[in-house]
Structure 1
Amino acid sequence: MASSSGDVVSLMRAALAAEADSQRRSEKKSAPMAKLVSGTRTRQSGNNRIYRFRKASWPALLQAERGLLVSAKPTGPWSPVSESEPVGSMIQLTCQVDLDQTAYVREDPSGSLHKLSEALDSLPAERRQRAGLVMGTGNPRVSRSANAAALTTKFDELNPAQQEAVSKALASEITFVWGPPGTGKTDVIARIVEGSLRQGLSVLFVAPTHVAVDQALERICDLISNLDQFRDGLVRRVGGAQVQSLIDKYGDVIDPERVLARLAGPLDDKITNLRNRQTELSSRLQLREEADALLAELRELTTKADQAANQYNALSAEVARTQSMLATAHSRAVDAQSKRFTLPGTVEKRQDEYYRASHAVQLAQAAFSAADGVVQQARARLPQLQRESARAQSAAGAESAKSLRSLLQSVSTSLQQAGAERAQLDKRLESSCKLAAMTAQRSYQGRMPAETPDVVLVDEAGMVDLPTAYHLTSRAHRRVVFAGDFRQLPAVVVGDADNKASEQNRILVRDWVAKDAFHAAGVVGHGGQVLEDRRLVRLDTQYRMRPQICALVNAVAYPDAPLRTGRKDFSTVTSSALLSAPLAVIDTSGLPVPDRSTYRNDVHAALIREYIRLLQGNSVLPARRATNTAPAQLAVIAPYNQQVKLISGHLKERLGEEFEGLVDTVHRFQGSQRPIVIIDAVTGSGALGVFFEKTGLGSTTCRLLNVALSRAQHHVIVVANFRHMRSKLRPDSEVLIMLDHLVRHAQQISPKELIPIRTAAELSALSTEDLARPAFFPADETDQAISWDFDRATREVKIFCPFLHDRRISRFWATLTSAVARGVRVTVVTRGTSDHVEHGPIIAKLASGGIEVTTRDQMHEKLITIDDVLWLGSQNLFANTRATELMTRIVSATACAEALRTAETAQPTRPRTSPPPGNRIYLNTTYEEKELVKKLGARFDGQRKKWYVDRSNQHLDQLSRWLPPTD
């Protein structure tokens, strides 16, 4: 153990780096990969090389933001890309390896590990000290809450162990709740969260998977739905809920976007109404101002018209007066001119008077005309202006402009205040959140509602790696609770078993990544045994499984701490002779076994298919193609994906469609339960496989087996080859304990009850339905039964048999050549003449009959496919030796496809030894002619990319046109 928090973080970061390397090596070959071309190195900075490539291909599923790996070859080795930047159709990469013009990139599967490492490195000293609690350091307060009953709902309905767990978790600095399957751990967790919230504390709730988070959160919400602010952002599901029942029931209160939309709705409506009111008042004010302007103009024009009229009248009198003056002046001027004797200057004076009077008349007439024009214009404009003013007054209403301006100012102020309140709503929601729920991985990625919540509660803690548990503990301001079962699924880690990693790195990953919080804190011993510790509370009563199933689980996983059963012994499943007891076994000992495949077994898949068919016949499960009816009572669990795929294909054919969640691996069923569980303990004829090879209560074998068995509520059925497994298992194996317990306590279902033993003569008399069912055939019936299928082949026959004998070929010659004549493609896959010289003439004979022959060194597979019919067993059809075991006939397109895929991709059991090049004759053949030379025993040299035959080949005369001139 490291001596300081700094040492701990350094070791964890080193272990995470080692795990990242292992994850990169173990990434699936099917992972999306992009090809980059036209690469150039633009510059180098220290160890960093900066390249620019053109994207030749870029799968849609490949997302650069998640982190990339780059390699000069599509098969690796892979190196991390520290930076990537798209530039149009180009991409710029920064890495520390030399690349050529072509490179390949794929997503870095270890991206989250780097973020976790950075999060650990950035922890301040005080938080590292706090995190030491999960490492067993310090002297944490362990106590019990005196008012747990008042803080939680229906506390008195919990059993004593559950009450103890809640009471401790509400008062202790660190609490470990050991919750084996069906013990009500989720009920305990929900009440711990409820009690913490009622104490006024903030809570961070995490679990390894979205499903685990959502299932627990739904139970929590059921208990706290009456709390203040429950509908106002109290709970936040960070990352988005995925379980539909939670979404349907509480989606509007746990989704921050939906909460914001709901809370902001009235405020947004208010803002909309205020804006509409503002627009209305602005419009009315504009109309009021326009009406007032028109009224003022009308008044001004009326005044102007009145003034013009007065002036008109005055000017009219003035014109008359000046005209009178002009007439007088004119008369006096004429009179002065007519007298012979006048005073000097009189005539000039009278003429001047006349001119002045004449000018006055002109001025008066001009002014009169102007006044008359104004009057006429005003009289013309006034009616229109009066109408416009009247309309404007009507539209503007009675309120004055001053009143409208006051109202508008008030509305604008209210709108400004509402806008400010809306802007603060996000912050208010952030502060309202007292329960944040998310996956454990999300907890160290991105910003959290509360960086240091009062309480951190980790569910399914046995599946959480140590660095994540350490980081989560560092965030807890007051209390941390780890709840889970260290004897169920462990954290998903590959580096502790990576054969390509150094022993030092494997140990580093095992000790500092793969370890869970229970082991790190010291409440569990190295061998997986539970220790007496005041920090630990064990939930000891289960309510899921019938007593007999619980007894099996106890024998396998809890021998030192057996669970009690708190439910009655009954089954809700329709009665059936195939389910007469809680435990049942289908022992496949003595049945045909695939040669080497550890990960798939066609006979097991066929037995499970037939078992389900009979359950349908007994109305236990829905009938085939029942409308919108999934077999929800059933789960089929297999250790490996290959077997899952095979069984899924069988059941799709049986049920008429594929149902999600019906068949899967153990990991996929964690956290779920079903009335009926079928467990396929699939093995081949060799090693048992990684699922079964470990021993010990803390081993992955025990933990996975525990999960598989404990999913069952009423019935568990185990399909296994007991004889073969017993021969391979260690005496201390938990798998062996399971087998022994089942032999003593389980209902024994013979495979022959599910798959009948038939004779070849029966085939012709069978109905179409019965003919499609699997069947066993004794060895002495096999030849005739297979010939019966050969005679009915319509598309393709493929025979895998390592050894050939002319007598056996003759036995089937007529039926096979007849099939070829009907247009059926017949192929034999066997060992070549380099392994068996005697095969040469036989291969030639097969080729002469139109039968294709493919040779493969060291092959061992023995199977036959005839259209959609699969024959399995130890019989080598064309060999001179005869098997005595049963052969299995399975009618399934899925089984045929999977069997062929496995057989065609099988590798030799030992390294291939190439014959000396001098023993080969390389042929001058085209691609189109390859099938012809293959029939004559030619093989392909992958390195030289040429077809060749051995010098001992019996058909050199037939190969003469392809032989090189020197030969």
Structure 2
Amino acid sequence: MNSTVNYIKEWQQALQLEILHLKKYGSTKYLVSNGHLLSSDGSFTYFFETGSSVKIPVGSIVRLEWGGIKQDGRVLSSEGKSIILSFERSLGDLIGEAFLYHDPWELLEQLITRLDEVKRSKKKRLRIKRLMDPSMPQKHPSSEKQSSVRELYARSKFNPVTFVWGPPGTGKTYTLARTAANHYFQGKKILVLSHSNQAVDVLMAEISSFIKRKERFHEGDVLRYGSQIGESLAIHEDIVTGQLLGKHEPDLLADKEKLVGEKRLLKQDLAGSFSKRDTDELLELEKKLARVLEKIRQKEIEFLKEAKIIGTTLAKAAKDETLYTREYDLIILDEASMAYVPQVAFAAALSKHILVSGDFKQLPPIAAARDSLVKLWLKEDIFHRAGVAQSVEEGTLHPHLFLLKEQRRMHPEISAFTNRVVYNNFVGDHESVSMSRESIRAAEPFANKASVLLDTSCSGEYCMAERTSHSRMNLWQLLLSFQLIHEAYVDGAKSIGYVAPYRAQAEWMEKLLDDLYRNERQTTDIIAATVHRFQGSERDVMVFDTVDSYPQDRAGMLLTGRESERLINVAITRTKGKFLHVCDTSFINKHVYRSKTLRQLVDHQTHNGQVIPRKDIGKWVKHQHSRLQWMHARKLEKVLEDLGNTNHEMIMAIPDANLLSDDWKQILLKRNPKVKLTIISGKRNSDIPLHSFISLPVSFSFIIFDKRFVWLGVPIETNNRIQPPFISARLDSSIIAMELSSQFKRNE
């Protein structure tokens, strides 16, 4: 059995390895320009313009790189579109352009220091031992009739560690908030933590709302501590430190705003002059501002000392002495499945009782370094490392694992798969969820269907790797997915999500939406992203585009690897009433094992009659968008019209130019001779006169007219792996036209 001290040593080693990796490879990168030396009194101070606002805290360590030179420095001032840095050696008088790197590793160093302090405390080591080895007997009184809130309150009162398993839609925020409030009503001190500001905001808003409804709210007792406060606390300003300061210390905030304004004006002057007097004045302003900020800080400390429920992030708790030196009656750690194990251990050390809440069937923590210790402690969640997840795989619930087992988010047609396959039948549907989601299910596309698999088999070989990142893309499935979004929007969907496993595909959809749907997004919540962006949120309609298809010879690791179940689970469980899965089932059935979650999803949807075949596109496309139109690929009238209106350039990509029909050869021969023709193909046809030939393999046919109109699916006879009905798509988008043509540029 591993001792707590050994655990801590391994955690510190893993964190140090991650720090080394971040220092070498990973940073937030900013372009800075017009750098000039301001002063050289002891240290060398430089002013830079930043182009956009750079929010790096004063005092932070940064790295400057230009022309092969790397130099560490410190931020003296960071406001607006300029920054002042201090270095120990001279970098010359002028620096035209350079890159500035700011790393998150300082937060990890603070966590290492906190763990050093834990090592010296027998009490804190015992708390961590209970976290990592929760084999102690249950002490809470139990009753089968009690509510989830009552049972969790009892567990958190009598047991040192309680793991809360909250699958999507099971009321985790509701239950945690009421548990926290009930402890507060008993005069207890509670610290609410999460790795993300958004999660802290949501839980603190729910706690505040509940206490107010009970008419037991006292200003100052509930405190959201931190600077990154989101919209969910807009109606709860009375728990935000900044708003309380404005109420109780208006002069302090006025002084701060005055100094910030003076500093901004002075820095604008500095951009055009190198006056030492201005520089000295600016640095003096920074000192005055620092003194005001310290007064604000002291007032915040007073608020913290008086508060009974404090909400903040794990990172803030590990760096703020006022937080980590206090003792609490209860720690509530939300979204623990995305936190590093050492972070959870640090949190557990602060209190006699901790609620560790999350879903180990969703996304794990993210770390970059490739090392066995990093994989063990920073890339897997506390539920697995403490052994409570393993009990679920064996078909039982660990004594200290409390399951919220009724989901109220997804229509039962959607949850049927995740409840059975992902959650091993531990989770069921609340009786109300079917009726509450019926209006979404009843809407288009595919009215009266909540779960749909849109099969793209035998539509062509459209899956390709992005030219620079090698992330996968599939333009055919992208356009089909946009059509689904359009149908849902026209029929009244209020929130729509598009999720893809590959960043390149998600970014292309974001560009397409920005181009074709900019106005619609002003009134409807439509987001395109990879899965990580969606964790913790929900949408009426979700489009899950699996992207993978021919001519690839295998499915990507994102859909078949170790974390694929979690990724697919998050994609599905964001959905309230309509889950639309865009997938090449012929590819998946051939290249993905039956034991993999994606294959099980395809098999489930097929078995339950949820598949829409390719031939039905003419039935479900009810609203052609003015800039995206679907038509039969043999009907070329619109193609010829576009060709006749083309003034400058025509780009045609064809897998094998020798397969062009005589009709198409005549079309190309009779085109306006002023129109420049470029053909991209693996095989050239000498019978076709053209201006430029790009010898590159291409797996699908497309045409681009005047860098604006994109045709997919024509010429039909040159496409591979395609069966009738033959469909083509016409897209009016200069953005996608440019992106697509750039994929097939010659390497210089």
* TM band (smaller chain): 0.7 to 0.9
Residues 1:129 and 2:125 are matched in the alignment? yes
Equivalenced residues, count: 678
Return the alpha-carbon distance in structure 2 between the equivalents of residues 509 and 139 of structure 1: 25
Q: 2:31 aligns with which of 16, 30, 33?
A: 33
Residues 1:218 and 2:93 are matched in the alignment? no
Return the alpha-carbon distance in structure 1 between the equivalents of residues 309 and 538 of structure 2: 27
How far is the alpha carbon of 1:633 from its aligned partner? Answer: 4.0
Hey, what does 1:434 align to over in structure 2? 308
Return the alpha-carbon distance in structure 2 between the equivalents of residues 785 and 568 of structure 1: 46
Hey, what does 2:472 align to over in structure 1? 599
User: Which amino acid letter does the alignment assign opposite residue 731 of structure 2?
Assistant: S
How far is the alpha carbon of 1:487 from its aligned partner? Answer: 0.5
Q: 1:745 aligns with which of 608, 611, 617?
A: 608
Determine which structure has the larger helix proportion and give its number. Answer: 1
Q: 2:709 aligns with which of 846, 869, 872?
A: 869
Evaluate the alpha carbon distance shift between residue 738 and residue 859 of structure 1 in structure 2; reply closer, same or farther with a 3 A threshold. Answer: closer
User: Which amino acid letter does the alignment assign opposite residue 688 of structure 1?
Assistant: A
Do the aligned partners of 1:182 and 1:544 also contact (CA within 8 Å) in 2? yes
Q: 1:546 aligns with which of 394, 411, 425?
A: 411
Query: 1:923-943, CA deviations, whole angstroms, 9 ceiling, x for partnerless residues?
Result: xxxxxxxxxxxxxxxx99x6x
Do the aligned partners of 1:584 and 1:716 also contact (CA within 8 Å) in 2? yes
Structural mapping, 1:681-760, within 5 Å: 681-685=546-550, 686=552, 687-694=554-561, 699-755=562-618
Hey, what does 1:491 align to over in structure 2? 365
Q: Secondary structure of the equivalent of 1:194? A: helix
Return the alpha-carbon distance in structure 2 between the equivalents of residues 640 and 860 of structure 1: 19
Hey, what does 1:380 align to over in structure 2? none
Evaluate the alpha carbon distance shift between residue 616 and residue 543 of structure 1 in structure 2; reply closer, same or farther with a 3 A threshold. Answer: closer
User: Which amino acid letter does the alignment assign opposite residue 113 of structure 1?
Assistant: L
Do the aligned partners of 2:649 and 2:677 also contact (CA within 8 Å) in 1? yes
Residues 1:828 and 2:679 are matched in the alignment? yes
Do the aligned partners of 1:606 and 1:774 also contact (CA within 8 Å) in 2? no
Hey, what does 2:501 align to over in structure 1? 639
How far is the alpha carbon of 1:788 from its aligned partner? Answer: 4.5
Hey, what does 1:513 align to over in structure 2? 378
Hey, what does 1:465 align to over in structure 2? 340
How far is the alpha carbon of 1:511 from its aligned partner? Answer: 0.6
How far is the alpha carbon of 1:468 from its aligned partner? Answer: 0.9
Return the alpha-carbon distance in structure 2 between the equivalents of residues 183 and 426 of structure 1: 35
How far is the alpha carbon of 1:173 from its aligned partner? Answer: 0.8
User: Which amino acid letter does the alignment assign opposite residue 132 of structure 2?
Assistant: G
Q: Secondary structure of the equivalent of 2:410? A: coil
User: Which amino acid letter does the alignment assign opposite residue 458 of structure 2?
Assistant: G
Do the aligned partners of 1:782 and 1:887 also contact (CA within 8 Å) in 2? no
Hey, what does 1:451 align to over in structure 2? 326
Percent same amino acid at aligned positions? 19
Hey, what does 1:573 align to over in structure 2? 440
Do the aligned partners of 2:177 and 2:203 also contact (CA within 8 Å) in 1? yes
Evaluate the alpha carbon distance shift between residue 451 and residue 842 of structure 1 in structure 2; reply closer, same or farther with a 3 A threshold. Answer: farther
Return the alpha-carbon distance in structure 2 between the equivalents of residues 711 and 574 of structure 1: 15
Return the alpha-carbon distance in structure 2 between the equivalents of residues 855 and 814 of structure 1: 20
Query: 1:307-348, CA deviations, whole angstroms, 9 ceiling, x for partnerless residues?
Result: xxxxxxxxxxxxxxxxxxxxxxxxxxxxxxxxxxxxxxxxxx
Do the aligned partners of 1:177 and 1:537 also contact (CA within 8 Å) in 2? yes
Hey, what does 2:290 align to over in structure 1? none
Query: 1:897-939, CA deviations, whole angstroms, 9 ceiling, x for partnerless residues?
Result: 33642552469xxxxxxxxxxxxxxxxxxxxxxxxxxxxxxx9
Structural mapping, 1:167-186, within 5 Å: 167-186=154-173
Query: 1:29-71, CA deviations, whole angstroms, 9 ceiling, x for partnerless residues?
Result: x9423469899xx99xxxxxx9969667645444554542454
Evaluate the alpha carbon distance shift between residue 241 and residue 140 of structure 1 in structure 2; reply closer, same or farther with a 3 A threshold. Answer: farther
How far is the alpha carbon of 1:117 from its aligned partner? Answer: 2.6
Evaluate the alpha carbon distance shift between residue 243 and residue 121 of structure 1 in structure 2; reply closer, same or farther with a 3 A threshold. Answer: same
Hey, what does 1:901 align to over in structure 2? 739
User: Which amino acid letter does the alignment assign opposite residue 81 of structure 1?
Assistant: D
Residues 1:16 and 2:10 are matched in the alignment? no
Hey, what does 2:3 align to over in structure 1? 3
Evaluate the alpha carbon distance shift between residue 168 and residue 54 of structure 1 in structure 2; reply closer, same or farther with a 3 A threshold. Answer: closer
Do the aligned partners of 1:80 and 1:108 also contact (CA within 8 Å) in 2? no
Evaluate the alpha carbon distance shift between residue 574 and residue 482 of structure 1 in structure 2; reply closer, same or farther with a 3 A threshold. Answer: closer
Return the alpha-carbon distance in structure 2 between the equivalents of residues 457 and 165 of structure 1: 12
Structural mapping, 1:227-626, within 5 Å: 230-240=217-227, 242-248=229-235, 250-251=236-237, 253-262=238-247, 429-449=303-323, 451-476=326-351, 478-495=352-369, 501=370, 505=371, 507-525=372-390, 532-559=397-424, 561-570=426-435, 571-573=438-440, 575-576=442-443, 578-597=446-465, 599-615=472-488, 620-621=491-492
Hey, what does 2:261 align to over in structure 1? none
Q: Secondary structure of the equivalent of 1:889? A: strand
Return the alpha-carbon distance in structure 1 between the equivalents of residues 25 and 724 of structure 2: 39
Evaluate the alpha carbon distance shift between residue 857 and residue 889 of structure 1 in structure 2; reply closer, same or farther with a 3 A threshold. Answer: closer
User: Which amino acid letter does the alignment assign opposite residue 171 of structure 2?
Assistant: G
Q: Secondary structure of the equivalent of 1:662? A: strand
Do the aligned partners of 1:638 and 1:644 also contact (CA within 8 Å) in 2? yes
Gapped regions of structure 2 (runs ≥ 5): 254-295, 466-470
Evaluate the alpha carbon distance shift between residue 168 and residue 111 of structure 1 in structure 2; reply closer, same or farther with a 3 A threshold. Answer: same
How far is the alpha carbon of 1:554 from its aligned partner? Answer: 1.6
Q: 1:192 aligns with which of 179, 185, 196?
A: 179
How far is the alpha carbon of 1:632 from its aligned partner? Answer: 2.0
Q: Secondary structure of the equivalent of 2:548? A: coil
Gapped regions of structure 1 (runs ≥ 5): 44-49, 149-155, 269-421, 496-500, 622-630, 759-767, 908-938, 943-967
How far is the alpha carbon of 1:875 from its aligned partner? Answer: 5.7
Do the aligned partners of 2:331 and 2:347 also contact (CA within 8 Å) in 1? yes
Hey, what does 1:81 align to over in structure 2? 72
How far is the alpha carbon of 1:555 from its aligned partner? Answer: 2.9
Return the alpha-carbon distance in structure 1 between the equivalents of residues 714 and 20 of structure 2: 42
Return the alpha-carbon distance in structure 2 between the equivalents of residues 774 and 805 of structure 1: 28
Determine which structure has the larger strand proportion and give its number. Answer: 2
User: Which amino acid letter does the alignment assign opposite residue 417 of structure 2?
Assistant: L
Query: 1:698-746, CA deviations, whole angstroms, 9 ceiling, x for partnerless residues?
Result: x421112112212222222212111111211122101111111111224
Return the alpha-carbon distance in structure 2 between the equivalents of residues 757 and 104 of structure 1: 50
TM-score (norm 1): 0.62
Return the alpha-carbon distance in structure 2 between the equivalents of residues 491 and 854 of structure 1: 48
Q: Secondary structure of the equivalent of 2:379? A: coil
Hey, what does 2:645 align to over in structure 1? 792
Residues 1:206 and 2:193 are matched in the alignment? yes
Return the alpha-carbon distance in structure 2 between the equivalents of residues 883 and 801 of structure 1: 14
Do the aligned partners of 1:586 and 1:719 also contact (CA within 8 Å) in 2? yes
Do the aligned partners of 2:163 and 2:402 also contact (CA within 8 Å) in 1? yes
Hey, what does 1:346 align to over in structure 2? none
Return the alpha-carbon distance in structure 1 between the equivalents of residues 678 and 125 of structure 2: 70
How far is the alpha carbon of 1:857 from its aligned partner? Answer: 5.4
Return the alpha-carbon distance in structure 2 between the equivalents of residues 107 and 784 of structure 1: 56
Residues 1:819 and 2:672 are matched in the alignment? yes
